[in-house]
Structure formats: C-alpha cells, structure tokens
Amino acid sequence: MPTEEELYANIDALLQEEPQLPPPTERARLREAAGITQARLATALKTTTQTVKNYENGRSEPKEPRLSAYQRLLNGWAAKFPAHGTPAAPVQAPVAAPPPAPVPETFTAVPTVEADLAEPDPPADAQPVRPARPVVSSRRPAAKKAAKAALDPRFPHGPLAVLDGDGSAYGVDGIVLDCPATTIPELVEWTLKESGLGAAKLNRHGKDSDPLIVLTAAAAVKLGLPERLEGHEQRRNLRLPEDHPVVKQVVKAKWQLTQRGFGPWARIYRKAQGRERQCVQLAILSWDALDERSWPGVAEMEPADVARVLGVYAQRVITPRGSTAVSGLELMTALRPPTKAVQDPATGNWVSGYNQGSLGTEPMDPAPPEATPEHPVVVNSGWSGGFLNEEAYQWVRSVDSLSDEECLLPYAVGLDLNTAFLAAAARLTVGLSAPDHFTAPTFNPKIPGSWLVDLSGIDLDPRLPSPFTPDGTRPTGPAWYQTHTVAYAQELGHDVHPIEAYLRRETGAYLDPWHDRLKTAYVDTLADLGVTKDLDDAAFLAAMEQHKQNDPALAAVLAAIKATVKGGVGKLRERPQGKSYKEGEPWPALQRPTWRPDIRAAVISKARVNMHRKLNNMVKMTGLYPLAVLSDCVVYPSPGDSPLDFLPYAASGKPQPGGFRLGATPGLAKLEGVQSMLWAVELMEKGLNPARHIKGGDAVLDEGE
C-alpha cells in the first residue's frame, strides 16, 4: 500500500513536467483560424519563422520559457476557435456574436469598431431561423462528407445552399431547408432573415462571407429567370437587361445590383445600416456559373452533391463569389484585409486605418516596365523602354541536340509539378509600396522590383531552356527582369550589373496566408481522395492513378482549388476586355488595389526559376536532359514507362534532394502522361510541344491570366 508521501511525491512530479501542446496539425489550424501568419507568430515568440514551421510540422518542440507562452496562446485560440467536430448547442434563432475572447499577451488587443470588426446584431423583429429538416429525397444522396468546420452560432446551416425548383435548399452536411420564396426579393429576404447561412471572417480584421444561394435551372425558372441567357438577354457580357421583370422587382424592393448586373454571379445588396450588413450572392447553374474547366462535372450533379462540392470548397478555401479566379483574388483580400481598427491619437477614438502587410485600399500605378502596353501609365508617358516578360515556360528542345542514346530510349514520360505557382508563393517577398526609380543600382536579391540587366552574355547548355526567357532562348540584349530571375543569374555564378531599376521600399510576404490556406486545402483534399503524404513513391503513383474515381465530387473540389491558384495569380494582371476598348483608357480592374502585375511577375519568375533549378540538378544527378517544358510540365526520355525509371534515388531508396521528387504537396511532382519516344520526336520535328500533348490531349498553358 503506497504511503501518502509517495502519492504526493508522484503528483508533484507530474505537476513539474513540461506542459503538453496540442498535435502539430492542430497548432497550425489554430494559428490559421486566428488569421496570424507564421512570421508574426515568430516575432511574438521571439524566434524564427522556420522554427514556427518546425513546431507546426512536428520537427521540433519549444523549450521553456517559450513553451509556456506558446501553450498559453494556443489555449486562448482553442477556446475561440473550437476544433473540428466540436459539438455546438443547437441554434433555433439568430444569436448575436459572443464578445471577443481575451487576446493573448503576445498580441495587442484592438477594440471592436463598427467599420471593420463589428458583426451585425440581428434586428429586433428578426424571424426565427427555420430549422433544417433531414434529407428526404428520391435523389441520389451526397457521398461521404468532408470534415466539419467549427460551427459559428450565427451561421448554423453553413455558408451556402443549392435551391431546387420544389423549394428545397440543400446545404452542407446533408441538411435541407424549406425555402418558400417565389421571387428574387423574397429569396434575398429569406436568406438574410431565416436561412441561418453565412460564414465567419477568415481574419479578425476582415468581414464575414455573405451567404451564397445557388439556383438550379428549375429554381431559376420558378423565380422568373430565363433558364439560359441567350438572344437579346446576352448583351453586355451575360447580363439581364435593365428592363427585365426580375431586375425591376429587385429595384422596386429597394435592393441594388453591383456593376456586374444580374448575370451568372449576381450580387444583391442594400447599404449597411449601422452594424447590419445586407448582401446575398446568387449563382445560376444553367447560366454557366460553374465553369466546366474549374468545376468538372459539378453543373450536372444533383443539388445535394453540388452543395457538398461547394460547401467543402467554402470551408477549406472561401465561399465562392464568382469564378475561381475571382475567388482566388478575394481570398487574398480576406486573409489580408486592407484596414483594421486603429486609435486616433488626437481624439482617442477608434477609426479605420491601414492594416500593416496588406495592399491597402487605394489602387497603385505600376512602374512602366511592369505595366501592359495598353495601360494609361504607358500610353500617357510615351514609354518605349520595354516590358517585363516574366511568363511560364513554353520551350521545346532542338531535335538536332538529341543524342543517339536518347533517341533509342523507348518512352517519353511527363512530370507535372503540383500547383507550381502556389509553391512559388511561399515565403515570397513582394513590394507593398509604390515603385521608385534608380539608375545603375547595385543588385540586391532581397529587394523586390524590376531590373534592366543585360544577361545575353551568359553561356548555358543549349540542351536546357534559358532560365531568363519564357521560350527558353538566350537573351539578345538588355531586358527587364524580376528580382528572382536576376538573383538566379547570380546563383549560377555570373556578375550582374543593372542599368536601372524600379524598386519598392516597403516589402512583405503578402501571399503567405494565401499560400498556407490553399496548400492545406490542396493537401487535405488529396488525402481525402486517398493520396496522403506518407505514401512511398510507388504507392503515390498508384493512388494518383485512381484518385478521381474514388470520389468525383472531391475530385471536382481539387480541380477548383488548382484553378483558384492559377486564376488568382492571373487576376493580379487582368487585361481589358471588349472590342470597344481603346488603348490608354483605364479599365475596371485598375480600380482594385489587387491589380498588381509586379506580384504576378514575382510568382511566375520564382516558379520558372524553381523549374530550371530542378532541370539543372537533374543533369548533375542523372545526366538526363528534358525534351520539352510547358509551364509546370516537363517531359523526359526514359528507359521505362514510369518516373521511377529515371528519377534520382539514393542507395537507401530515398529520393535525392534538389531534383524532381514525387509527392502530394505543392512543388512536388506527379505523373502527367506517358507516350513513346518516337511520338515525342515526331512532335518536336513539327515544332510542337510534347508537354502539351503528353497526357493524351491538349494541355492548357498556365500563363497566370
């Protein structure tokens, strides 16, 4: 029988042990839920960003006193952002948002202000939330569900619903709501007052996502809309004319439409009254709201399955507000809101102010070489000094450079890098302030900007594409390059002497939270499809071969995530549209703070440099040269029909670092396709790119447009 002293001694020993932290993945989830970047957390903990990354991937653990501070922070976040699957009390009526949880001492608390941080209180005469009924339908039920996000009591029924013609509104997690609306104004009122739909903000300084209602063709017709936009209704880029009865109904009910009008993605709102935000996003399936290239097969799914696809996307990425390109751009702003609450030192009042690290609220003119030829900055100044040409690779090797040994290999194998643009966005320093002009500056690889440099004297192996041009040809004289391209010339051992430059003094890793959220969404969705990070290379290839068949709905989510990455980068330099456009006139995209061609150039420059670095390392490790490159796809001659037959491995069987590696995370490779070597050579002789056709069809060049 143990003595009392022995028991107390054992208890005291337990109390003296170091506190236990939640699992690494939960640490990352809590930080992301709080809208804090790894760099900011590192500053608070007085450590490095890499150390925080190690905490969140399980490679290392903090020691005292940092351990206790980190645990205190995580505990505070855990109370504010419950883990997935945490049960919440059933909600029968809209509930005002609870008061903010205490901010950990490692951060500065900011009082709530109406303009930025306050959430809408329900009006006194608000109708009770209509309880959801279980699915009772002859339709095919949705397949397996994704992990639930923490439930916000203000939005008990999730971020969106798919409305069918019988009034059934299909939400996430299999719920079905009864919607009695027979007109668009009634639908808007029901959505805001009774549906319980919406999503919490992604950053504490941001705004909640407005509810999304997706209309099937039957629902559109029931609400007075045409089943499809055609004929006279198709004028002005797929919008209903202003004299259409539904548009008149909206105006009569004192609702407003955005400048896009009533199109496939219609946004209906009233100006906020006090703290109450009144806005509903509509998407009409039969008007091609969900593009087949970004959402393969979704428009033809049953309403419950459409709700599942869009619901998973909304929970992991953002509630859609338009095309995946629009959503990609909106996600940047949602994660880096332009304003936050700041205290006016003169009055002591809390007002809306600049949020450090964001792009602010005002658009910014690019430097002339960063702009497009039709941009007012170029036309009005008469600029003729050339432009950045930082685009994705589109290169085919000369057939004359093929050796007999290469031609005798039986296969051409294509590798595709997972979300290469997303991988390039990681830890990418970009400019946050306006560009300043410098003459004959000393090159500094840490300063983002555009440099006029002559790289034509650099002699490289012609069997590899030049890292300095998208078509892989050698530069012919001075040209404008983004910082990463010039830094890579230095990395290859060459002196660089810029002639002039446009540089930005204020910098930051603006895209870091965007990268982190999309990377997590991509990896988690692949894992749900059976492709996990712990698979060996052979198992990974086998899993990738069948992952789309495992769950077509989640495969569509994966496609949408990839399209969000490419489209979001492309939106940073959206070009003018329409035959009536005249050079020198401003176009709508220029009014956005997120019209930033320099950031787009930085992402693509880094992605292309990353590709060339791997190509170069492959030569050193294997002696193999590529046949062609198209954006993030590269084709190699191979003795077998698998990447395992030519990728470099150590004696232990582990992949060699530096070259192409197979895996499920952004930046790693997967099999794109296999053809015969004879097939590839015949295409090359015709001047065609094997990387475009290696999959068995025409690939799409990812230009970030």
pLDDT at 92 over 50: no
Q: How far apart are alpha carbons 437 and 655 in whole angstroms?
A: 45
pLDDT at 300: 93
Tokens matching residue 542:
């086998």
Among 333, 301, 326, which residue's Cα sits nearest to residue 560? 326
pLDDT digits (tens, 9 = 90+) for 632-655: 999 999 999 999 999 999 999 899
Q: What is the mean pLDDT of residues 107-123?
A: 33
Q: How far is the C-alpha of 470 from the C-alpha of 283, rounded, in Å?
A: 37
User: What contacts 450, CB < 8 A, 6 or more positions away?
Assistant: 367, 369, 370, 388, 435, 480, 481, 482, 501, 502, 503, 598, 601
Pull the structure tokens for residue 282. Answer: 């509509």
Q: Are 372 and 597 in contact (CB under 8 A)?
A: yes
Q: Which of 648, 574, 193 is nearest to 180 (CA)?
A: 193
**Residue 110 confidence (pLDDT) above 50:** no
State whether residue 140 is helix, strand or coil.
Answer: coil
- Least confidently predicted of 72-81, 281-290, 354-363: 72-81
Per-residue pLDDT, averaged over 300-327, amounts to 97
- Start-to-end Cα distance in the chain: 76
Convert the pLDDT of each residue in 657-683 to its tens digit. 999 999 999 999 999 999 999 999 999
DSSP conformation class of 91: -
Distance CA 456, CA 344 (A): 53
567: which residues sit within 8 A by CB, 6+ positions away? 294, 323, 324, 325, 326, 327, 328, 329
Looking up tokens 């068995």, which residue turns up? Answer: 696
The pLDDT mean for the chain works out to 87
Tell which wins on pLDDT, 575 or 133. Answer: 575
212-215 and 276-284 strand pairing: parallel
Q: What percent of the chain has pLDDT over 70?
A: 85
pLDDT tens-digit map of 399-434: 999 999 999 999 999 999 999 999 999 999 999 999
Beta strands in 317-369 (DSSP E): 339-343, 350-354
- Tell me the pLDDT band of 1, cut-offs 50, 70 and 90: low
Q: What percent of the chain has pLDDT over 90?
A: 71
Amino acid at 207: K
Distance CA(266)–CA(258), nearest Å, equals 8
> Nearest to residue 305, comparing CAs of 132, 136, 191, 144?
144
pLDDT digits (tens, 9 = 90+) for 424-433: 999 999 999 9
- The residues pairing with 674 across neighbouring beta strands, listed in sequence order, are 413
Q: Give the list of residues 6+ apart from residue 546 with CB closer than 8 angstroms, or none.
A: 530
How far is it, in rounded angstroms, from Cα 303 to Cα 213? Answer: 12
The H helix count followed by the E strand count for the chain is: 21, 20
Nearest to 28 by CA among 4, 58, 65: 58
Whole-prediction pTM: 0.79
Are 631 and 701 in contact, with CB atoms under 8 Å apart? Answer: yes
Distances (CA, A) of 483 to 77, 221, 413, 490, 514: 38, 53, 32, 11, 21
Choose the weakest-confidence range: 285-294, 377-386, 574-583, 677-686: 574-583
139 close to 303: Cβ distance less than 8 angstroms = yes
Report how far residue 335's alpha carbon sits from residue 204's, in angstroms, rounded to the nearest whole number: 9
Tell me the one-letter amino acid at 555.
A
Q: Can you tell me the mean pLDDT for 344-372?
A: 94
Instruction: Tell whether the model's pLDDT for residue 127 goes beyond 80.
Output: no
- The dihedrals phi and psi of 685, each to the nearest 5 degrees, come to -65, -25
Q: Is 56 helix (H, G, I), strand (E, B) or coil?
A: helix
Max Cα-Cα span within the chain: 94
pLDDT at 583 over 90: yes
- Runs of H (alpha helix) within 253-349: 303-316, 324-335
Read off the DSSP letter of residue 277: E
Report yes or no: 597 and 371 within 8 Å, Cβ to Cβ: yes
pLDDT score of 66 more than 70: yes
Residue 260: strand, helix, or coil: coil
What is the reported pLDDT for 560?
Answer: 98
Per-residue pLDDT of 470-506, as tens digits, reads 999 999 999 999 999 999 999 999 999 999 999 999 9
CA proximity to 320, closest of 209, 216, 217: 209
Query: Which secondary structure element, helix H or strand E, spans residue 520, and what is its range?
Result: helix 512-528
Give the pair of three-digit tokens for residue 124: 């006194």
| Structural contact between residues 527 and 534, judged by C-beta atoms closer than 8 angstroms | no
